[in-house]
Structure 1
Amino acid sequence: MSSHNEPRETRMSRHADERQRAEAGPQKPRRGGWRTFRRILYVIVAVIVLGLLAGAGLFFYYAQSAPQISKSALSSDASTRVYDADGKVISRLGAQNRTYVKAKNIPILLAKAVISTEDKRFYKNNGIDPVRILGAAFANVTGSSLGMQGGSTLTQQLVKLSVFSTAASDRTLKRKAQEAWLALKVDHDYSKPQILEYYINKVYMGNGVYGMQTAAQYYYGKKLTELNLAQLAQLAGMPQSPVSYDPIKYPQYAKKRRDLVLQSMAKSKVITSEQAQQAQATSISSGLVKDHSLTSATSAHTTKVVDAYLKQVYQELKNKGYNTTTGGLKVYTNLDMGAQKRLYNIVNTNNYVNFPSSKFQVGSTIVNPNNGKVVAMIGGRKTGNVTFGLNRAVQTDRSSASTAKPLMDYGPAIEYLYYPTYEPVKDTAFTYPGTTKSLYDWDRKYQGTITMRKALYESRNIPAVRTLQNVGIKKATTFLNGLGMSFDKTLTLQNGIGLYISSEQEAAAYAAFANGGTYYKPYLVSKVVTQDGKAHNYTSTGKKAMSSATAFMLTDMMKDVITNENGSGRSAAISGLYQAGKTGTDSYPDDYADKVPDGATMDSWFTGYTKNYAVSVWTGYDKQFQTGHYVSESQTSIAQEIYKYEMSYLAQQSPNSNWTAPSTVTETKQNGNTEYYVTGHAGTVSDTTSTSQYGSTNTTSSSAYSSNGQVTTNSSSRTTTSTTESSTSKESSSTEQKPTGGDDDNTDSSTTSSTTTTSSASSTSTANSTSETNNHTNAASDAES
């Protein structure tokens, strides 16, 4: 019995207890739970306090290193100043488009429009606005801001424009802290009207225009005081995105922004709703002018002189991530203004050279061989009032013709095969491997076996291509890569007499011959100082591109291009000056050759150098296939003449010193002439060209010079493995060249036309190569110190 009654009693007792607790009502929490809650609360408060203290400490730590901000910094323009090598200003992008307006001349409606748009609590805050920051954060979350205001006050925006870089990489916590600290100082030291005045005069308004007074002149042809409400609202809304809100280029976006400003003004009771609606109904194009001429701080003549150089400077800055329109940069360049002016005068007047017409064009670059500094650059002649026009000095869509021979043929032959300057090379009938396409020299004659030196200074095509074939496309390409040139597609034998490179690239490559074999990537910008005073220095890191023996021997051969009575560059001769160089002329393709006189070419080059300067000059017409737009046989010397007059000027301000043979080069006499060979490689050298590669017209014996300097036949001396690459796939205009008549340097027409022909592969070739490309990229890079 007891076993059954016991659970019942227990359940009855439990029910009674529950009834008593229910009747007693809610019970107080146990004391232990309250203590736990308090501890958690204390921890949370402590963390918050510590966080605030840490934040305050970090803020003041960053504030201590904030840059100084002066009245001149606040009131000055944020333009990009460009200096030449002597520290003289040559351009002020934006400064020429800025007219300062004092506070008393700022329309009240404009001031109120700016405040309504950028900082509604401007007169209440002390430079920073916690309420505004929280409001901006809330608006961003809810999407209720209509894009009108961010977290920065108008004063903070002024500080940013005056002191700090606007680059995205500088948007750090440190910069934000320093910005806030300086905003507090500016608010303390200057009145609100002064701050507003500085802001209105500093903001960027698109199209190189700074300040709203200048913007009024640029867009409406009027002063600020002459603008209506709709126009003032338009200007007030532009600083947030001056490009997108340009009323000329993007009227739909400009109107949307203007109307938001008007709505904000009405909401702030600056204007009535009726006034806002009336202004919104005004066409966005109302009052806009077509003539946007403004006073330039840099003379028009100076702008013309440095146009191409400046364009390339801005390109370099862009590549480095700088904003040239709102960055307030100081840019120091390598420009030699004297050399630039002389080059400009040579190509734009008839005081030096007789140009055939105003449409005859020039592209030229001058490089210091010892550091890669680009000291002058011309992108065209007779260009009119065009700012940043086509820069022909850096275009790569024209063949460099025979100026490619030292770069792709003879340079690699000395570097990799140890050819001496007297290496025997064949000037005999040549057919491109795997094709029936023949290559000819300018005079359509064959000279048999001649020296490499003679082949170079007379600019013979066949020996150059034969030499390239012995070197191999792979090694030749490696040599070019070392000189800063890389190509999207595989090069071919045809490129041995024509590369698609610019005068800037070529001047830098030849500069490596001048300095003993070191390549420096060409550069124009030497230093950039940002608004916060931080300096970024730039140099070009030299990289060994060839042996000193190769550089010296090429230079010695290229001296003869200018001085030998049969040299192709005699028009470039300067009495008494130690110099070397190479000519290049690019003939028309066969299907067009009958439309131009004999000897006419599309392009004419000369690239030459001393130990102090390398100068590359391209001449020709932009539309070379247009009637009359050819370079006649007599006009091919114009490039040489431009070089001669420019180098004569440069030589006056630099020592005239000759090159000396390095210890790795040995001098010898061959046929009474001074020749050189790489020390340890003086033996006779065979031409290993095979019959199967060149066709039945080629000889199988190999001529070489014996130790007594006489021409002998020898097939057992040092041999060179012939390349297996051939031009067998989609060769550009692989058609037989027609006689051109007396031109001293025409290349095979295959280097100039874009027509492609596919042919079968040669039985001796193991690798096909594709057509040459006119695309390139620079392999080296600047080193920032």
Structure 2
Amino acid sequence: MSGQKLSRTKRTNKKRVNKSHNKHSRLTKGLQIGGIIIGILVIIITILCFYWAATAPKVTNAQLTGTSQSNILDSKDNVIWTSGSEKREIAQQDEYPKDLKDAVVAIEDRRFYQHGGVDIRRIFGAAMANFTGSSLGLQGGSTLTQQLVKQTAFSSAIADQTFKRKVQEAWIAMRIEKQYSKAQILTLYMNKVYMGSGAYGMKTAANFYYNKEMKDLTMPQVALIAGLPQSPSGYDPYSNPSGAKYRRNQVLDAMAEYGSITRDEASQYKATPIDDGLVTDHTEQNNEAETAKVDDSYITSVLAQVKAAKYNIHQDGLTIKTNLDPDVQSKAYDVVNSSANNKYGISYPDDEVQAAVTITDPQSGNVIAQIGGRNQDTLQGLNLATSTQRSGGSTVKPLIDYAPAIENFNWPTYRALDDSSSFKYSGTDLAAGDAGMTNSQPYSKKTGQPYVSMRNALTRSLNVPALHTLEGQSPISATEHDEYVGHAKASEFLKKLGMTPKLSGSSAIGFNVSTEQEAAAFSAFANGGIYYKPSYVKTITTQDGIVKSMDSKGQRAMKDSTAFMMNDMLKSVISATGTWSLGFSQYQTDDYVQGAKSGTVAYPADSDYPSSAAQDLWFTGFTKSAAISVWTGYNEPMSVSKPLDGLSGPTAHLPNEIYNTLMKYVMTHDNRDGSDWNKPSSVRKVTKNGQTEYEVAGEDFNDPFSNRLPRIASNSNSQSSTTIASSSTIYSSISSGSSQTPNANTNVVTPSTTIPDSNQGDRSTGGNNTGASGGNTTPDPKSN
């Protein structure tokens, strides 16, 4: 028995030994496999590093001594702008004083004289400092030699901050260390770095900031100069004196730690005011050539796009080819900056009135010209063409009201819309109405025609149908209301067109927008429904020869049926004639087919300005191959002595006259395609009330028109439905008893806290026409 127990014990121990042995074997085997994998990875990385080093850019002496300035080119490869407005001054080695050299080494690369181009100890130290939050991390991991390489051969774009780039940067730095002495490398660096305010190199910076030779700089001034390269704008002593002082003091502390000065001296120097000796007048820099103003607004937009792509225009030595058409840009500048009595016949009332223009190619999103202001005194100031501080008035109606209605509900161009009574803003007693609707003209409330077709509402720019389309207060019966777009669907549609405005109760008849946004949005109508983000830059070429395409990638924003039907209705804005047209038929031509929309924003009803005055005037139009958006107004509209005309009068036509002059030039300049749009298969052509209309093919739409007939009949003493339906026609004659004349600007929105009575609103020809607008609780002046 005992033998059996012993035998069983032996067998158990044997099993345990085997299990332990198996575990040890698996662990050993796992470590071996892991080691093999790591070894393979090391070999692969080593091979890659050797390959990347072998294929690194070749850096010549000319590149090392040359500037890191960037050039902007137009579409014909002409240089139109170069970074850095100050002349770059090259200093010899012996011109740099010892204090300045010590300051640069102390703050940027304290082991500069010990390493061979790459400082492994520094890399680990910087990594540890970044991890612990220590101030030692202020030097970063790159040596001065690596920084020289970066500024000579590579860009600072985040997309280029790759492991491959770091390997190549280190390899080139080590090669440079073998070819140049430390003194030469330091001089090359100090001559090349961007120092802010258009100055390249420390000799240039000494003259710009202090009007001194480098040898005459005080120690605090030396420290400021040495600290600028890390962040020229962040440490700019003019725009950010607190940041400049912080950085200067960092340099002084680093110099004390390096041994160049004592800690007591550092404390003494830090007490010096940051503006001590700072030059405040840069006359030469401010005397810009007049020719620079022609392209200035466009260049401002180019710089913004380059910055958004994470490139540094002042340090990366970029070659930026743009989509700018120099001929169109010159023409636009000439037209906008003409005097009152100019050859174009445009009635500028004075030199203070402003104008902004953006011209795009609908087929690509390329911005071919842009003017951001009139008679501008300074360069790279506020670009009014991209500013969203002014309401677009009725130019937004196609974008927020009617296109989303077609997109979501398949509304046909003849769809009946309610204009029977004033629209009351939600939660208020404030109302808006359409002017001139109480007379005996072919369409009026008095004659019992309370409904109007969508085409007619858009062509005549009526406010109430637009408000009902977005907000939805139109009754079909005692218990039913007509379908409407609503803010959610409108916002979704606008977002696809690059706009995200905050919508209110009055947004249907105006929200804040820019000419850039409108030109891009209307382009989506012109090209069949594709939205292209406005693009100023075609390609960016870095110093190492890498070319990056910046072409805009189109995204479908709407169905082709929506785009075509909107095009056709917007064509009616131009082609319509007669009493209820807006008077733009004079711009119709056989040379090209175009659609357009105007917009007028009136003064608040409680202001001291007449009801016929306008704060903002807009006109946005397009062909297949060009979209042009124009805004005109004053920078401070509430302080002008004589405002623009919102109704009849010479200045009421400013934006459409600018548009017409430029569209004629653009379309003939390059023989652009001005043909009519082909009807897509998704649209069906129909005849309604004697005129051509369109509807979405194969789709049903909610048409409450028949439900409205009894109500119309009772209101109009049994007027026939045929007569009612004919309200969709733009009449070509004026009744004999009328003295009214066509007017080019009838689409006025008034931001107001006092709303006129209900039969007033959109400025149509004739009638009492002070407009109205409002918000969800109170009218929103900013959105009209």
1:639 equivalenced with 2:673 (yes/no): no
Deviates more, 1:648-657 or 1:224-233: 224-233
User: Distance in 1 between the 2:39 and 2:554 partners?
Assistant: 55
Q: How does 1:646-685 map to 2 (within 5 A)?
A: 646-652=662-668, 653=670, 654-670=672-688, 672-679=690-697
**Contact 1:93-1:208 at 8 Å conserved across structures:** yes
1:371 equivalenced with 2:349 (yes/no): no
**Contact 1:418-1:678 at 8 Å conserved across structures:** yes
Residue equivalent to 1:757: 778
Deviation at residue 671 of structure 1 after TM alignment: 5.2
User: Distance in 1 between the 2:667 and 2:131 partners?
Assistant: 67
Distance change in 2, residues 1:124/1:377 (3 Å)? same
Deviation at residue 704 of structure 1 after TM alignment: 5.4
- Residue in structure 2 matching 1:528, options 540, 554, 559: 540
Q: RMSD value over aligned CA atoms?
A: 4.5
Deviation at residue 337 of structure 1 after TM alignment: 2.3
Distance change in 2, residues 1:515/1:626 (3 Å)? same
1:389 equivalenced with 2:395 (yes/no): no
1:582 equivalenced with 2:597 (yes/no): yes
Residue equivalent to 2:582: 568
User: Distance in 2 between the 1:280 and 1:436 partners?
Assistant: 64
**Contact 2:763-2:769 at 8 Å conserved across structures:** no
> Structure 1: which amino acid aligns with 2:587?
A
Residue equivalent to 1:186: 176
1:72 equivalenced with 2:65 (yes/no): no
**Contact 1:366-1:375 at 8 Å conserved across structures:** yes
1:402 equivalenced with 2:394 (yes/no): yes
Distance change in 2, residues 1:741/1:687 (3 Å)? closer
User: Distance in 1 between the 2:529 and 2:718 partners?
Assistant: 34
**Contact 1:497-1:747 at 8 Å conserved across structures:** no
User: Distance in 1 between the 2:199 and 2:329 partners?
Assistant: 28
**Contact 2:117-2:173 at 8 Å conserved across structures:** yes
- Residue in structure 1 matching 2:507, options 484, 495, 515: 495
1:361 equivalenced with 2:381 (yes/no): no
Deviation at residue 679 of structure 1 after TM alignment: 4.1
Deviation at residue 581 of structure 1 after TM alignment: 0.6
> Structure 2: which amino acid aligns with 1:590?
A
Deviation at residue 444 of structure 1 after TM alignment: 4.8
Deviates more, 1:62-71 or 1:362-371: 62-71
**Contact 1:703-1:711 at 8 Å conserved across structures:** no
User: Distance in 1 between the 2:150 and 2:170 partners?
Assistant: 10
1:81 equivalenced with 2:83 (yes/no): no
Deviation by residue 1:583-633 (Cα, 9 ceiling, x = unmatched)? 1112233323xx223421222111111110111111122322224363213
User: Distance in 1 between the 2:296 and 2:464 partners?
Assistant: 40
- Residue in structure 2 matching 1:484, options 491, 498, 502: 498
Deviation at residue 374 of structure 1 after TM alignment: 1.8
Deviation by residue 1:5-35 (Cα, 9 ceiling, x = unmatched)? xxxxxxxxxxxxxxxxxxxxxxxxxxxxxxx
**Contact 1:431-1:695 at 8 Å conserved across structures:** no
> Structure 2: which amino acid aligns with 1:334?
N
1:614 equivalenced with 2:627 (yes/no): yes
Give 5+ residue unaligned stretches, structure 1.
1-44, 713-730, 759-770, 776-785
User: Distance in 2 between the 1:80 and 1:643 partners?
Assistant: 34
**Contact 1:497-1:748 at 8 Å conserved across structures:** no
Distance change in 2, residues 1:695/1:430 (3 Å)? farther
Distance change in 2, residues 1:423/1:695 (3 Å)? closer
User: Distance in 2 between the 1:498 and 1:416 partners?
Assistant: 21
Q: How does 1:45-56 map to 2 (within 5 A)?
A: none
User: Distance in 1 between the 2:331 and 2:305 partners?
Assistant: 24
1:687 equivalenced with 2:697 (yes/no): no
Distance change in 2, residues 1:554/1:143 (3 Å)? closer
Deviation at residue 340 of structure 1 after TM alignment: 1.9
> Structure 1: which amino acid aligns with 2:207?
Q
1:547 equivalenced with 2:559 (yes/no): yes
- Residue in structure 2 matching 1:459, options 458, 461, 466: 461
Distance change in 2, residues 1:687/1:51 (3 Å)? closer
**Contact 2:689-2:722 at 8 Å conserved across structures:** no
User: Distance in 1 between the 2:138 and 2:400 partners?
Assistant: 60
**Contact 1:517-1:547 at 8 Å conserved across structures:** yes
User: Distance in 2 between the 1:85 and 1:288 partners?
Assistant: 40
Larger radius of gyration: 1
Residue equivalent to 2:4: none
> Structure 1: which amino acid aligns with 2:166?
K
TM-score by length of 1: 0.76
> Structure 2: which amino acid aligns with 1:486?
T
**Contact 1:589-1:733 at 8 Å conserved across structures:** yes
> Structure 2: which amino acid aligns with 1:604?
L
Q: What secondary structure does 1:642 align onto?
A: helix
Deviation by residue 1:690-731 (Cα, 9 ceiling, x = unmatched)? 799x9999789997559x99789xxxxxxxxxxxxxxxxxx9
Residue equivalent to 2:142: 152
User: Distance in 2 between the 1:544 and 1:50 partners?
Assistant: 47
Q: What secondary structure does 2:550 align onto?
A: strand
Deviates more, 1:199-208 or 1:140-149: 140-149
User: Distance in 2 between the 1:710 and 1:55 partners?
Assistant: 78
Q: How does 1:26-45 map to 2 (within 5 A)?
A: none
1:346 equivalenced with 2:335 (yes/no): yes
Deviation at residue 59 of structure 1 after TM alignment: 4.3
Deviation at residue 285 of structure 1 after TM alignment: 3.1
**Contact 1:691-1:699 at 8 Å conserved across structures:** no
Deviation by residue 1:96-116 (Cα, 9 ceiling, x = unmatched)? 563333445444553454345
Give 5+ residue unaligned stretches, structure 2.
1-34, 473-481, 729-750
Deviation by residue 1:110-162 (Cα, 9 ceiling, x = unmatched)? 34543454445545543234566577779889999867855533212211222
Q: How does 1:298-317 map to 2 (within 5 A)?
A: 300-317=289-306
> Structure 2: which amino acid aligns with 1:484?
G
- Residue in structure 1 matching 2:639, options 626, 629, 644: 626
Residue equivalent to 1:762: none
Distance change in 2, residues 1:142/1:462 (3 Å)? closer
User: Distance in 2 between the 1:662 and 1:273 partners?
Assistant: 79
Q: How does 1:207-218 map to 2 (within 5 A)?
A: 207-218=197-208
Distance change in 2, residues 1:259/1:585 (3 Å)? closer
1:232 equivalenced with 2:252 (yes/no): no
Deviation at residue 562 of structure 1 after TM alignment: 1.9
Residue equivalent to 1:514: 526
Deviation at residue 200 of structure 1 after TM alignment: 1.0
Deviates more, 1:548-557 or 1:601-610: 548-557
Aligned length: 695
User: Distance in 1 between the 2:44 and 2:696 partners?
Assistant: 69
Deviation by residue 1:246-287 (Cα, 9 ceiling, x = unmatched)? 444555665565566567667777679999898677654332
Residue equivalent to 2:423: 431
Q: What secondary structure does 1:68 align onto?
A: coil
**Contact 1:118-1:149 at 8 Å conserved across structures:** yes
User: Distance in 1 between the 2:657 and 2:102 partners?
Assistant: 63
User: Distance in 2 between the 1:460 and 1:531 partners?
Assistant: 56
Q: What secondary structure does 1:591 align onto?
A: coil
Deviation at residue 642 of structure 1 after TM alignment: 0.8
User: Distance in 2 between the 1:467 and 1:281 partners?
Assistant: 66
Q: What secondary structure does 1:526 align onto?
A: strand
Residue equivalent to 1:204: 194
- Residue in structure 1 matching 2:755, options 735, 738, 741: 735
User: Distance in 2 between the 1:106 and 1:457 partners?
Assistant: 71
Distance change in 2, residues 1:742/1:678 (3 Å)? closer
Deviation by residue 1:353-410 (Cα, 9 ceiling, x = unmatched)? 221222222222212111222222222212212x332222223332222222222333
**Contact 1:244-1:254 at 8 Å conserved across structures:** yes
